[in-house]
Amino acid sequence: MNLVLVFFLFFSSSPPLLDVEDSLERGATALYTVSLQEGTEYWIMLEAGGEALETDFDVIVAGREMNLEQFMNLPYREDFEYARSHSCAAGCESGDESFTLSAQYTGVYYIVVHDAGQTGGTYRLKLQ
């Protein structure tokens, strides 16, 4: 069987570990905490709500090396740049994001979403 088809069937048949619809103010950052299993492949998808043509969100997955308290005390944009310095995987293209992460350890990971387009808006974030 084709590897892409197996990958698609696996991820389309299992319920998402995270499935949220949320919104960000202009230039803001959001953080989600998830627990992942070492050696497992995860698929991260972020779809912009599309209220404005310029709506653009970046998403990264940061590992346990990121100090959560330090992250929470940084101002807008600096928090995202700090998280990016601890990134395990990222989706920083224009428009919707879709990428995979192979968990390197079992434990807590941080999914950080940032309003890169500086317009604010809604999005849907999924982790499978």
Which tops the pLDDT comparison, 72 or 119? 72
pLDDT band at 116 (very low <50, low <70, confident <90, very high): confident
What is the distance between the alpha carbons of residues 99 and 93, in angstroms, rounded to a whole number?
A: 11
Chain segment 52-99, per-residue pLDDT in tens: 557 789 999 999 999 999 999 999 889 999 999 999 999 988 888 999
CB-CB contact of 101 with 11 (8 Å): no
| pLDDT for the residue 77 | 86
Instruction: State both tokens at 18.
Output: 């995270």
46: β partners:
97, 125
| pLDDT for the residue 12 | 54
Domain boundaries defined on the chain: 16-127
For the domain spanning 16-127, the CATH number is: 2.60.120.380
Mean pLDDT of the chain: 87
Chain segment 99-112, per-residue pLDDT in tens: 999 999 999 999 99
Asked if residue 1 has pLDDT above 70, the reply is no
| pLDDT for the residue 13 | 56
